[in-house]
Every structure is written in C-alpha cells, then in structure tokens.
Structure 1
Amino acid sequence: MSTRLLRWLPMLALLWVAPMVAQTPPASPNNALQTAKDRPIDIQHLRLTMAVDLPGKTVDATAFIQFQTLQELSTFRLDAVEFEISKVEVAEGNGGLKPVKFQHDGDYLDVELGSTWPSEKAGTLQVTYRVRQPRDGLFFFGPTPAEPTIPLMVWSQGEAITNRYWIPCLDHPDERQTTELIATVAKGMDVLSNGRLISRKDNDNGTTTFHWSQSQPHVSYLITLVVGKFAVVEEDWRGKPVLMYVPPDRKDDVARTFGRTREMLDFFTRRFGVDYPWEKYAQVVVEQFSGGGMENTSATTLTDRSLHDARAFLDSDADDLIAHELAHQWWGDLVTCRDWAHLWLNEGFASFSEIIWNEFKHGPDQGGMVLLNKSRQAIAGGKDKPIVDRRYADPREMFDARAYPKGAWVLHMLRAQLGEAMFWKGVRHYAMTHRFKSVETSDLRRSLEAVSGKNLERFFYDWTERPGSPTVSVVTTYLPDTKQLKITIRQTQAGEAFHFPLPISVVTSTETSPLSLSIAVTEKEQVYFSSPLPNAPQMVLIDPQFTILATMEETKGRDLWKTQLLSGPTFISRVRAAEFFGKSGQPADRELLAQAFAGEKSWGAASEIAKALSASGGEVCRDALLAGLKSEQPKIRRAAVTELSKFVGDAKVVAALKTLLQRGDASYFVEAAALRSYGKLNQPDVVAVMLPWLARASHNEVIRAAALSGIGDSGDLSGLDALLEWTKVGKPREARQGALLALPRLAKKGNATPELQKAIIAAITKALTQPGEMPQLRRDALLALREMGAAAAPSLETLEAILAHDPSFRIREEARKTVEAIRTKGPIPVELTKLREELDRVKKQNEQLQQRIQQLEAKGK
C-alpha cells in the first residue's frame, strides 16, 4: 500500500511530509513479541451477500464461509468488530445449516460448534449481520450542507487489520481464501470488487445487484468493496480487461493519467518472469482516500489526487504510484508476507519496482534520482529499528521507511551484488515457489541462494536484522612514486562493521576504459593499494552506480572532484561532486557549479546542483539560478525558483520572482514554487502578492496552498484572516491543509499576541475534530498544534480524547507526539527567531561583500 502518496505527487509532497516513509520511532523493547497467529481453521471460500445503503451508511450482509478444521476443536474465533449479529448458523460437511450459540464481545465472534470436531473436517458457517457507519475499514461519503458536491460513495481499506470492521474473517496475512461479493445498491451506482464480474442485474425495486468472483485465493486484507458513480474506461491487455473507474467529470484525464498501465503490465511481466496472475486489472479513483493507493487483488484503489489535467502533466504524473500498486499484484498479493514483521517483502518489492520502472522508461539518471530520494528516506527512517522487527504494538507501525525505501534498497543491493540475470532468476524462483502462499524473509534468501550458489546470511543479517546503515569515510591518495592509489576506508557508525563490496571506477585517460575495482569491506578500517596505474587518475569514482546504502564521506583532490562534476558518467557521481563544491564557498568553485548547472541535461541532477548553488551562495550562484528560470524543462525552472528562496533580501531575486508571478508560467508547480519562495524573502508586500492567487484553482490546489504558505512565511499578521478563512469546511481540502500548516509559522514570525494565538489554536482544533474529516488534514492539524508548542495547551483535552478513543492508529500516534511536544517544548521565542534571521542576513551580506572584494582585486591584477 502507498499510504504516503506524497512521495509521488509533488503537491502532496508539499502538504504532507509525515507519510508512509515517516521516520521510524525509537525502539520499544517493552512491546510484546509478535508472531503469526494460530489458525484453528482454514477458510477456503468466503461469499458476501450484502445490501449497501449509502445515505444510511449501513450494510446488511450475510457471510457464507466454507472452512476446514486444522485441529480438534469445539469453538473457534473470527475477527468481527462492532457488528450487529442477528444469526449464526453452521453446517457439517454437506449437511444443512443449523443455528448455533455464539458470543460477540464487539471485537471477536466466538462460534460454538455444539460438539467437538476432529481436524480436517469440512464445515460451513453463515453469519447474518449489520454494519452501521463503521469506525474503520469501510468509509462512507455523501453531500453535506457545507460540502454539497461530495458524491455518494463507499470504499473499503483493509490493510493492515481493518476489513474485520465489515467482514467476519481471520484478519491475518497468512489466511487465504477464494471470495465472492454480491452487492445490491441503488440503480445508477457501480460496484467494484475482486476478480471477475459474473453478472450485473437491474431489479424491479430500483436497485442493481453486482456479482464479483475471485477464483484464486487471496488474503483477507485484500478484499475490496467500492460503490459509487463512475465513468468506466475499459482496455484490453492480452485478453484481460484493464479498467479505469474515475469520477464522471474526470474521464478526459484517464488517458494521460493511466495511459502507461498496459506498458507497465508488459514490463513487469517480462522483468519478473511471472505472468500477471489475476483475471483483470482495475484502478478506481475514490473520494478522500486515506493514502495514495491500495493494491486490493485485481482492483487497486487510488486517491483522486492521482488524476492529472493537461497542465499538471507538463511536469508531473502518477506513474510511480501506479507502478507501485501494480507491482503489488505480484509482491503482496500473489506472494504475501506471513506476518507484519516481514512487511518489507510486500512494500520493498513494490517500492523497488518504482526504481526499475524509471530506469526502463526514463533512463539511468531518473532511476538514480529515485534511488537518491529513497536512500535519504531509508537512512533517516531506518536508524533505530531493523527491517524485520517482531516487537511492535500495532502492525501499522511497520509501514514506515524500513519497509518501503529501505526495503527497496535491500533489493537494489542484491541485484547489484548478484548481477541482473542471477538476481531476476532468483526472484522468479521465489515467486513461482511461493505463489498463492505467505512468506518470510528467509524464503526470499533461500530462493536467491538456491539459484546463485551464494551464502547470503551475512547480507540479510546486516540489512534486514540490524538497524541503521554504514557511514563510510573514503580517503583517496595518488602515490606518484609507485603510480598507485591508496584508498583508506573507515566505517564510522556505532557498532560492528557492515560487510559489502565497494565498487570503485578509476579513469586515467579519456582514450581508455576505466579501471574497475571492487574492495570487499568487512572491517571498520581498511587500507587498499591498487596495482600501478598507467597515468595519474583523472577521476576516482566511489560506488559510481550507487549500489551501497551508506552515508559516503569522500576526501580527494579538487581536480578529481572538478572532473567528476563536469564529466561524471553517472547521476550520483555528478551529484556527489556538486555536494562537495556546495560546501566550499570559494569563487572558483561557485563558477564550476554555475557551469555544471547550465550544462546539466538531467532535471534530477540539475535540481541537486541547484541545491549546491544556493548552499554556496554569492552572486555567481544567484545568477546561475536566475538563468535557470529560462530553462525549457519546467522541473529545472522549479528547482531554480525553489533555491532562490535562500537569497533573502536580494533585489535581483525579488525582481525576478515578481516578474515570474506577473507573467505566469506554463507549469502549476513553477508558479507554486515562486509563491513559496517569494514568501520567504522578507518583503513587505508578501500578503498583497499572495492574496490574488487564492482565487486560482489548480491541480490538487498547489497554487492556493503555496500562496497560503507564503503568507505564513511572511510573518505579516494582516494575512491571518485569510489563513483562518481557508481552514474552514467548504474550502478545498488541499488548500485547507496549506492554511493549517502556515498558521504556526505566521504566529511565530509575526509575534502573535496571546489572543491571536488562541484564535489560531481554536481554528486548528476545529479542523482536527470536524466529523468525517480526512486523515491527511487531521494529521496536518496535529502537526500545526505541535509547531505551536506550549501555546497549544488549550488543545490538550481534545488531544487526550483522541488518544483514548480515535479509531485511527496513525492519528493516535500523531496525537501522542503532539501532546509530548506541547508539554515538553515551548514555542521558539520570537526574539530568537528574529535574531537568527538577522544573523543569516548578515552572513549572506558578508559573503557577497567578500566576493565583490575578490572580484575587484582580480580586476586590479
């Protein structure tokens, strides 16, 4: 599942930074050891027959469950949360159903068989029940007086353990069954579920009954129900339907948003070496989805933020999200983690599939950009706990940076160490051996070992059983007397050494092939001497293909860095050189960065060089970024605009951004970046510049959110009324999120009075407690309260109630962090904030003055 959509959608990246790749919380050794649950019965088939009342937010259902006992028993338990159960019946073998006694405590249904059944005995269970506006798992939507355009709709979300709120089941990832869903809804509605549509029948009473059948077994959390009005676009892939369900007014966006789905099906089938396993592939776009997407078997649910209009598609798409969820149809659906400690086998493979899709579709530079972003997330979010961790309070704790980006990096490193052919041969062996089964990490290791003949225990120990990743210092020295390279490698992280091969490429001439070295790193400190080289090295590239998840700290001569910046053959080699020169601040190094930025064709590398330019500062770097505003690539223009925000008070920057905002840009995202950057330049007219942009609708409200952010950064309290207004129900949700996140910054920078702070806290708390509010907005409200510090103390009673009663694990976790922040951390004094800003301004002016003096001295020579 992609619960943190913003990795893929730029607008969301701006609005919600606490996603699926959130940092791992500190280790909690007091949590109980979690293992796969016992299975007293094996559910073989589940048929759900239901009437869905959308306005009434109820489901009346009968669950028909065929099972076989796995042990001798007289009772067994199913997960069934807050059902209104009217009847439970059981049949032995092929016999008739008879009522039996049962107990239901609100969480579990305990079925009494009436006698002791032996193991391997077949039976049938039928449960008649009602679900009324469930707190989780099944989400109803409809118009309200404040939001009359919300469509009637219901969608399910079962991962990790929430289908139990509407289906009586064994809600664990090691229980598989075939399923049917027969749903009767108001005429005019569509129903989507797993598998093949058997029939669609209009009834005399103004209803329609849909019958979906999933003939291959799948796990309980992947069962799906979506009901609503949709435009349905159908395509064909190798004789299987490929379906897109979208809001009726967004049909024109289908081709540009989903137009590469069949190409992805071709690519993944070929790359994985395993045919797409299900009877169809559907993607349904729903109202206010709780994350980015959910890989329900054969029927992925997606957020409506994934749809792109023509202007948004200039420099954005949802391909990574679509590829991620499609890859799950193999990794997570066909082969599923046995318990949540091994979640990375689902999410790591899906996240890795984003990497290989980008490599295939866009080339190695874009693949490198995806790898770089995931490496940063994996290193930051995987410090404290290992990927495979059995101590957690709730399975949803496992959906973090360890399972997603770090899991992807583990697979990427395996691919590099085994080689493409051997790695994919092992992956196919893993899939074919365990298809329609649940797996643990050792199953993947054994498959890769079986085909490669290599012992991978140490690899899996380092990267899945240990927390963290290595910090590697590499010092490169050329010894002219012996014509050798001396390479000193130190691992400076705490604890024992990681074991990994360190690839090094040495270029001694443009006319000869590079010398490829591979050093087996097994100690905390090692020294390596190369064979004699024909010439002094022109480039020494450490891990040039980016195959080791590590924090690299290189020391080598400036000329080596210069050649690497301007001529490095790989994305990561040029980025690392840019980072080196970005720390310099020397005039010659700034000129180099400007030259590299102007000549860089890869938008990803150009974006990283732009960061180095702003970090270095000075007129040369500023002018290079200003020139970048004219790039034909909107993503490079966006990067330049974003980094110009660091040049606070610079008249040329102010004028350039004002001009851009006056003339506009073809890209939503460039305009949004310009608004955010202008808001950080400490100009007296920020609020006046921002307010007109609040009238402009855009893709996922990126424009309004940016304008609201600019008001927050301005510190101008004349903009407070606008921010408060845009937190209200009825405004677009993405814009409301932007207003909520901007309020704490405005309060701090503007030195808001206690009375104004109370108004701000009241507005944030109201958004947090609005009935039926989307989780992303509620999380942003919690983050805003956290940023307010001690001033948010009046919200503590509300937060305590959320901690005690809110059904959402993620919301409870964010509320806990917010309570801790309010109680332990006061707000940053406004005087300190202003002092820091003044010091930054003086530092920047001093750097500019030093550069001017150096230029004058150079002219005088």
Structure 2
Amino acid sequence: MSILRTLIIGSMLVLLGSCGSQQKAVQPAGEPIIETEFRQLDTMFVSASREPEPENFTLPTYRASHTRTHDLMHTILDLQFDWEAEQVLGIATLTLSPYFYPSDEVTLDAKGFEFEYIRLKGSNRNLEYGYDGRQVRINLGKTYKKGESYTLEIKYVATPAASGGSSAITSDKGLFFIDPRDEDPDKPTQIWTQGETEHNSRWFPTIDKPNERTTQEMYVTVEDRYEVLSNGVLESVEEEAGMKTWHWVMDQPHAPYLFMLAIGEFAVVEDTWEGKPVTYYVEPEYEADAEAIFAHTKEMLSFFSDKLGVKYPWQKYAQVVVRDYVSGAMENTTAVIFGDFVQRHKRELIDDGNDRIVAHELFHHWFGDLVTTESWSNLTMNEGFANYSEYLWFEHKYGRDYADHHLLGEWSGYLSSARGNLHPLIHFGYEDKEDMFDAHSYNKGGAVLHMLRNYVGDDAFFAALNLYLTENAYTAVEAHNLRLAFEEVTGEDLNWFFNQWYFEQGHPDLSVTYDFNEATGQANVTVEQIQNPEIMPAIFQLPAAIDIYKANGEKVRHEVMVNERTQTFTFELEEAPALMQFDADRVLLAEMQDNKSSAQYLFQYKNAPLFLDRYEAVLELRGEQSPEAQQVMTAALEDPFWAIRVAAMQNLSPETAANAGAMLSQMGSEDPHSEVRAMAFSMLAELEDASAVSFAQQAIQQDSAYSVIGAALQYLTVLDPEAALEIADDLEQHSSSDILLAVGELYASTGDAKYLPFFKKNLTEVSGFSAIYFVDACVELAVNSDLETSKTVAGHLNTLALGESISPWIKFGATRGLNEMRKAFEQAEQKEQQAYAETLLERLKTIKASEKNPQLISFYNQMLSDIKP
C-alpha cells in the first residue's frame, strides 16, 4: 500500500470515529500519526478555535501525453545540404487534418529554422505565422473540420544545433555533419540523424511527438559519390551533373522521431529475407565483415516473427554504421543506425559479437515502431521489450545458461542505478524526458517482463504479446494496453502485478532463512521483506517456487505466494532436506540474502540445475579454504558454461591455483571459449607460472581470437619479456584494441621512451575500457621519462580530452591520464615537475568546465572532486 493511500484510509477512519463510533482509528506502522481533537459541543455555545496554519498544496508533476489537435497524415521532404554551413535546405510538404475539434491554426515543431515561405499547397499566398525559435504557429486562413485535410508547403533553412543531451543520447542536435577536416583526416564524410526523443524537428518541421504517426517520402540530393539511406523502399535514383537525387518512400505510418537519414561513402552488402531487402551499410574496409558484424540478422527476423506470431511488418530491413554516433544504436523504422563500435573485423567478433544490440534494435520494430509509447513517461513500453528480446534471443540461440548470465547483468545494472535514482517504471514525474533513458526503462522493464512470463507461462505470455501487437498495431500505447491483453488471454485480473511493478517504485529486499525440525518433521522457509517502506511498498506480492531436495538429488517443487512482510512456509518431510531453494526459477528482481550454509552451497552447485544456482555457489564459496569448497572450484573449471569456468579461475585459492597450472595451461590453449582461454593466461601470469610459455607463444601464432593473443602477450610480458618484445614488432601493426593494449603495456614496462610514437599513433585507435588502460600505459612511460617528453604527451592528451568528436572512452582516458600525471608530479622532488603539475591542474579545470557529455561530467565530478573552479 502506498503512503498516499494509507493516509487517505487513516483519515477516513478518523472521520468515522468522530461520528460517535467507539472504534479506535489505528494508524498503520511506519506512517505519521494523524492527531485529531474531539470536542463535546454545547448546542448553545461554541468557542472559537485557532485558524490552521496555511499550507502550500501543489499537484505532483505529471508529464501527460501530447494533446493531439491535428493529425499529421503524410510528410514529403525535398532536401539538399550546405556542407560548409552545416545547414539543411528543405521544402516540406505536410498533409494534416484537425484531430477532432475544428481549427483555423496549427502548431508545428521546428527548432532553429529560417522560413522562406509557408503556404497552402497550390497557392502563391503566404500564410501568416508566429515563430519563437522552437515552434511555428500557422494561421490557416480558414477553419477546417475533422475529416477535412489541408496541405502545407514550407520552404526553410534549418541549422541543427545542440542544446543538451543525456547519458544515453549525448546530443539533441538531430542531424549531424561529420567532417574529416575537423580533427581526423581519415574519418569519412557523413550526414546522419538521431531523432529520439524530439530532435528530428531540428531538420524538418513536424509534430514531433511519439503519439503522432505519418507516412513519408524523402527526395535527397547529394553528390553522386554518396550512398543515401532512409526509411521505406527506394523508389528511384536520378543522376544529373554529378549529383544524385534519391527518392525513398515509406507508405506505412510511423512516429516522426523514427524518420532517418544516413549519407556517406558506404559499402552496401545486399541480401533478402522472405522476399524483403536486407542490407548492411559499412565503411569499405569492413565490406567483407558486414555479415559478421550483423550476424544472425535473418535468423532473428524469422525467430521473432515466429515467436510473436506477427511477421516482421515493414518493407525492408537495413542496418548502417556511422562515425561519432551519439547513442549506441537507434531503431529507426526499416533502417537502424549503429555507432562504429560494432564495426570490427571477423576475428575481433569471436565470442564478442553484436547479437545483443542487433536483436534489441530489431525487436523494436514490433515494440516501439509498430506499437509506440504514447509518451516518454511510458518509454519502457519500447525499451523494456527491446531489452527482453536480448534474453529471448540468447535463450534460443545459445541456451538458458547464456540468457541467465545476461539477465544477471541486467539485474545488476538496475539495482546499482536504483541506489541513487528510484522512480516508478511508468514515470510521470520525470524532470527531463531524456532522463527516462535509464536502467529502469531498459533493465527493469525487461526483468519485469521476465517475471510476467514466468508467472503466466510461455503459451499465455506469447499469446498475449500477439494480441497486444495485433490490437494496437500502428497506434500509441501505454502499460494498461499490455495489461488488458494479458487479462484477455489469461482471464485473470493482473492489476496487482502491473500496479506494483509498473506504477510503484522499487523492488523487494528479501532475507530468506531455512530450518528443519527433526522432532516434528517440518521444514520452514521464512521470507522477510526488509525493503524501506518509506520509499517503496512495504510488501510486494511475489509468486515463487520453492524446491526441496533430498540427499540423493531428488526434488519436490512447491508454488507459493509471498504477500506478507514476514511469512513462513511450512512443509512436512520424511527426512531432513539437503537443500531448500527459494525462487527456484531464479526470476525475481530482488535483492536477496539467502542464508545458506557452505554445505548447502556445495550441494547446490552439484545438484541445482540453473546457471544462477551454480554461479551463486561458486561466488559464495570463494575464500573458503576447505577441501570441499576447493573441490567445487576445481569442478567448476570444467563447468559446461564458460562464465562459470571464468569465475572458478578467478576464485581459486592460491594453493589450488598453484596445483592447477597444468589444467590452466590446457584451458589457455584448448578451451572452446575465447574468454576462458584469455583468462587462463591472465591467471598464469598472476601466478607467475612459467610452464605455459610455449602455450602462450603458440596461442599468439595460432589463436583465432585477438583477445587471447593479447592475454598471451601480457603473460609473456611477465614471464619472458624478451620473447614478448621479439613478437611485439609484428603485433603492433594490428588494429585490435586487445592487442594494442597488450603491446602498450609491454612497451610501458620497458621504461624506454623510444616507444612513445607507438602510443601517439594509436591513442585514438583503441576503444572501450582498453582505451583507458592504454592511456595509463602511455602516461606511465611518459612520467618515467624526462619532463619534456611528459609535456609532449600531456599536450596530446589535452587535445583528445577537449575534442568534440572523440570517443567518450578516449576522452575519459585522456583526462584520467592527465590527472594521474598531475598527481605524480605534485609528489615529485624536482621543482620543475611540481610547477608543471600546476599547469596540468589548470588544463583539467578547463576540461572539466567545457565538457558537455552528461555521463563524462558525472565521472569528472567524481574523479576531479579535489579540483575547484
């Protein structure tokens, strides 16, 4: 029960008491006491009471869905570009009709425009309008009724400019010109768009709201060396005087934020699925890798179509990779844009492919594009489904262990986020719509769907999704549409589930204890909900399974419903159980203290069937020095799932690890999963076990995965640095981040400044976490050299940290590197170095003050907390 509802009920009880009832109004535990003064009133005389203190009552923030006054039915855009001025030169032809009420004016979103004219199509008379720089309010010259359409023709110049962003979408510029002259001459020239949330109205006038829908056409004129991709089907390409005009037609309605453009010198790899075009747009260097970059796309199209019972509903499916993208990827209808982090060669994709993000964006074409959130408050109706598609795909393609390993990461991401930012999944009170792109809308949304699937069963779950999609196709939806579909299929009132998971905030925090009374033959499982009732429900209603195991491994399942703050479930048993397992299906989104003994975890690893059972046992037994616990760790080195083999390696006791050298060497050369092979070499390096030198050299020469080659080189750096240096000359020509990082750490360990040109050449080539550690190695080498060398390196890092089009990983690594250099020089004995630390301090102040990426700003505030403006 929410605090609000509790207070209302408490007040009602007090009022009932004042009407003469002898019942006492009892305020629920944990709530503020409502004091009420009762008086026996004399009919002849009533004394005056004090006026109550005035209070400022305000309604809570409510971010409503956009009120539709006009229906945008069709959009035609005729576009050219001024590349130098970074402007869009456009003519927009928009067909609209009043939504219900008669109207003689319409308001369009158009941010940063200059209008040459606005008129009704076919007329030479300009319409009157008012413009505030963000919206244009147009007087139509007459009143139109519902069902009467009119067509506007708007000639304009748009100058897309950013005014903000979020950690998920770092810029709201809408349309981006990528110009290699800016910083990197090797960067391709491109134009691409990012419309979500309401950023497409920076390059064409529209009603830029998620509950709007329109069909579209685009005529795009560019130099003939460029490919142009947009939504829908390519109708024609006309060439004239070194220019091409591309005509793309989208005849199915979709939301304006899903309009897209990508223009560049792409290699286009073409395929088909059930007669529909499937195309991959990549940089020419990656043409041979395109199908590996977007691996399993066609298989996913079939799997999701079959699973949902709704065939992929659009005319084509295209995927394009662009430079300097401001988000991970975007599900623009029929044409998904990806950041260039997905663009890797086949060997770099071994055991680390793009399945997750490819599945996510593809599933949006049902959940987000076909049915679309009616407001950003309901964003999880898009993103929660897309996140859950990742689980569905992994389960189908790689098995449940793989899917549950992924789910564990999703839970972790949400729970970590919830510690500092708790709000309902359907969040009407957000401060900024960009804030909705968080671990609630994504991670929690997917986890809630997983619980719902477990509760109703697979058949009902997918039947309800089919009903939801077919009943709501081409419309805007909210959570209640989903609830009604599930209630129609199951026949059950599911308000309790949707209220607590979608409209309340938080998650249960459970303490679970187990005991067995030999005298009575009774086993007890006690579940206590210990979450803070002041910020989330005191009681969650949790359907759960309890498995009770006999010593021989046989189990009996009991289905229970947790619906009390503290609740004990009792079972009659013929013998003492070897293990009792609450939430045996491992589906609850909850923090849980599962109070089991080491012996029970030992039994759990050997007998409970799921990945999370085995993984939990390995983690809970880490640090245990008993022979039994280490026996589990050794057994886990041969677990069928690779992540448990990795976890077991990381948690071996020193003694067990020392005795497992031969096994680790074998795993480094023979394990089927590259991450296990790489971890084996890392563990051998940590143990300083020299027995695997020949295995490492063999891996460097023969292993197909760059990650393993990098780990093997790092092993040689520790055990045989001379051999490592002999090999490094050949390896430094690779573009793999794993290999470049390993070579960089090797060169840093020599302390020889002659290797600094290698770092300067590759500082912008290393991606992800590797970029941070690569900068660390560079800084280590510089600081151990002379001051002038350090200044040269610092200058280069400063340029990267301030670069507008530099990867956030590299920017963060460069800033962190400068900060580490500052700290080192502050503690140095030489006055020149101490003085240079002051220079670095001023540079860091400038970097911190000029950064615009919200996520980097947050990181910098933590990392540079000792630096005041």
> What residue number does 1:373 align with?
409
- 1:767 and 2:800 correspond: yes
User: Which structure 2 residues correspond to residues 208-223 of structure 1 after superposition, within 5 A?
Assistant: 208-223=244-259
Gap change, CA 1:737 and 1:103, over 3 Å in 2:
farther
- For the 8 Å contact 1:472–1:489, the answer to whether it is kept is yes
What residue number does 1:798 align with?
846
1:172–1:238 Cα change, 3 Å: same
Letter paired with 2:581: L
CA deviation profile, 1:518-572 (whole Å, cap 9, x unmatched): 2211223222211224x44344333333211123332334443223213432211
Bigger mean CA offset, 611-620 vs 294-303: 611-620
Displacement, 1:315?
2.2
649-658 vs 184-193, which deviates more?
649-658
Q: Is the 8 A contact 2:130 2:137 kept in 1?
A: yes
Q: Tell me, what secondary structure is at the counterpart of 2:704?
A: coil
Residue by residue over 1:139-172, the C-alpha shift from the partner in whole angstroms, topping out at 9 and shown as x without a partner, is: 2224439633322321111112221221112222
* Matched residue type, 1:814: L
Aligned to 1:517: 558
SS in 2 for 1:704: helix
Q: Compute the displacement of 1:307 (Å).
A: 3.9
Corresponding residue for residue 174 of structure 2:
137
| Aligned equivalent of 1:606, options 636, 642, 645 | 645
Q: Give the TM-score normalised by the residue count of structure 2.
A: 0.80
Which of these residues, 500, 520, 529, is aligned with residue 570 of structure 2? 529
C-alpha distance in 1 between matches for 2:204 and 2:552:
66
The answer for the alignment partner of 1:206 in structure 2 is 242
Does residue 44 of structure 1 match 2:34? no
Q: Give per-residue Cα distances to partners, 1:202-221, cap 9 Å, x unaligned.
A: 22x22111111111111111
**How far does residue 69 in structure 1 lie from its aligned partner after superposition?**
2.5
1:62–1:782 distance in 2 versus 1, CA, 3 Å: farther
Offset at 1:650?
Answer: 4.2
Shift of 1:754: 10
Matching residue's letter, 1:315: D
**Displacement, 1:418?**
0.8
Q: Distance in 2 between matches of 1:786 and 1:38?
A: 50
Give the partner amino acid of 1:358.
F
Q: Call closer, same or farther: CA 1:314–1:684 in 2, change over 3 Å.
A: closer
**2 CA distance for matches of 1:419 and 1:335?**
23
CA deviation digits over 1:82-104, x for unaligned, max 9? Answer: 2232222235xxx6353123344
The residue that corresponds to 2:829 in the other structure is none
The corresponding residue for 1:401 is 439
C-alpha distance in structure 1 between counterparts of 2:305 and 2:768, whole Å? 41
TM-score normalised by L of structure 1: 0.81
Q: Tell me: CA distance 1:549–1:53, structure 2 relative to 1, closer, same or farther (3 Å).
A: same
Deviation of 1:184 after TM superposition, in Å, equals: 1.3
Query: Equivalent residue of 2:652, what SS?
Result: helix
Q: 1:426 aligns with which of 464, 472, 479?
A: 464
The match for 1:851 is none
Q: Distance in 2 between matches of 1:547 and 1:58?
A: 50
Q: Is 1:815 aligned to residue 857 of structure 2? A: yes
Amino acid at match of 1:372: L
Partner of 2:511: 473
Q: Secondary structure at the match of 1:400?
A: coil
Aligned to 2:542: 500
Q: Give the CA deviation at 1:355.
A: 0.6
Q: Is the 8 A contact 1:88 1:126 kept in 2?
A: yes
Letter in 2 for 1:669: S
Task: Report the equivalent of 1:670.
Answer: 708
Partner in structure 1 of residue 486 of structure 2: 448
Aligned mate of 2:581, from 541, 546, 552: 541
| 1:488 corresponds to which of 515, 526, 530 | 526
Corresponding residue of 1:248:
284
The code of the aligned residue for 2:606 comes to L
**How do residues 724-763 of structure 1 correspond to structure 2 at under 5 angstroms?**
726=759, 732-734=764-766, 738-740=770-772, 742-743=774-775, 762-763=795-796
- The 1:556–1:146 alpha-carbon spacing in structure 2 relative to 1, beyond 3 Å, is closer
Greater CA deviation, 179-188 or 51-60? 51-60
Where does 1:642-657 land on structure 2 (aligned, <5 Å)? 644=683, 648=686, 650-652=688-690
Report the alpha carbon displacement of residue 413 of structure 1 after superposing the two structures with TM: 0.5
In 2 relative to 1, CA 456–749 (structure 1 residues): closer, same or farther, beyond 3 Å? farther
AA at the equivalent of 2:153: Q
1:98 lines up with 2:125 in the alignment? yes
- Contact preservation (8 Å) 1:508, 1:537: yes
Does residue 588 of the first structure (1) align with residue 617 of the second (2)? no
**For residues 449 and 788 of structure 1, what CA distance do their matches in structure 2 show?**
61
Q: 1:107 to 1:796 in 2, by over 3 A?
A: farther
Instruction: Specify the SS of the correspondent of 1:35.
Output: coil
1:85 equivalent in alignment to 2:115: yes
Q: Which amino acid aligns with 1:422?
A: A
Are the aligned partners of 2:224 and 2:239 in contact in 1 as well (CA < 8 Å)?
yes
- Unaligned stretches of 5+ residues in structure 2: 1-57, 163-172, 824-836
Shift of 1:376: 1.5
Change (3 A) 1:825 1:549: farther
Report which stretch shifted further, 263-272 or 145-154. 145-154
Match of 2:193 among 152, 156, 166: 156
Aligned residue type for 1:111: I
Tell me, in whole angstroms, the C-alpha distance in 1 between the residues paired with 2:492 and 2:623.
Answer: 42
- Give deviations 1:759-793, integer Å, cap 9, x for gaps: 77654442132244345544555666788899774
Q: 2:150 aligns with which of 93, 100, 123?
A: 123
CA contact under 8 A between 1:723 and 1:740: conserved in structure 2?
no
Q: Structure 1 regions of 5+ residues with no counterpart?
A: 1-28, 827-861
Match of 2:269 among 233, 241, 252: 233
Conserved? CA contact 1:768–1:777, under 8 Å? yes
Contact 2:763–2:774 (CA under 8 A) maintained in structure 1:
no
CA contact (8 A) 2:696 2:713 kept: no
Distance in 1 of aligned mates of 2:294 and 2:451: 30
- Preserved CA contact (<8 Å) 1:104 1:110: yes
**Code of the aligned partner of 2:766:** E
CA distance in structure 2 between the partners assigned to 1:30 and 1:682 by the alignment: 67
Matched residue SS, 1:98: coil
Q: Match of 1:272?
A: 308
Identity of aligned residues (%): 28
- In the superposition, relative to structure 1, how do residues 517 and 665 fare at CA in structure 2: closer, same or farther (>3 Å)? same
Shift of 1:350: 0.8
Aligned counterparts of 1:745 and 1:502: Cα–Cα separation in 2? 50
Aligned-partner SS, 2:346: coil
| Distance of aligned partners of 1:800 and 1:626 in 2 relative to their CA distance in 1, 3 Å threshold | closer
Question: What SS class does the counterpart of residue 347 from structure 1 fall into?
Answer: helix
Aligned pairs (5 A) from 1:284-433: 284-383=320-419, 384-386=421-423, 387-433=425-471
**Structure 2 CA distance for aligned equivalents of residues 565 and 616 of structure 1:** 21
Aligned CA distance change for structure 1 residues 659 and 472 (closer, same or farther; 3 Å): farther
Bigger RCO of structures 1 and 2 (CA < 8 A, at least 6 apart): 1
Report deviation, 1:50.
1.1
Deviation at 1:293, TM superposition (A): 1.9
TM-aligned CA deviation for residue 271 of structure 1 = 0.8
Q: CA deviation at 1:483?
A: 3.6
**Kept in 1: contact 2:329–2:337 (CA 8 A):** yes
Contact 2:713-2:724 at 8 Å conserved across structures: no
Asked if structure 2 preserves the Cα contact closer than 8 Å seen for 1:625 and 1:643, the reply is no
